[in-house]
């Protein structure tokens, strides 16, 4: 999925987590609130973040 959205601009991918809870807002927008649970995902690093502004 990373390739689909970010393509060749990703220079590093690391597994990561944050404290919180995910839920869905109206119209299927994702959101996160403070919670003691862990939300797992990936930390992406880019060669030039200005390409994504």
27, pLDDT greater than 60? yes
Helix, strand, coil % over all residues of the chain, rounded to 5: 30, 60, 10
pLDDT value for 14: 94
Q: In the chain, what are the domain boundaries?
A: 2-48
Give mean pLDDT, residues 26-50: 89
- pLDDT at residue 50 greater than cutoff 90: no
For residue 11, the model assigns a pLDDT of: 87
CB 33 within 8 A of CB 23: yes
């Amino acid at each position: 999925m990373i390739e689909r959205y970010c393509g060749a601009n990703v220079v590093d991918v690391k597994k990561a987590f944050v404290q919180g809870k995910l839920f869905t807002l109206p119209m299927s927008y994702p959101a996160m609130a403070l919670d003691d649970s862990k939300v797992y995902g990936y930390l992406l690093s880019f060669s030039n973040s200005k390409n994504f502004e």
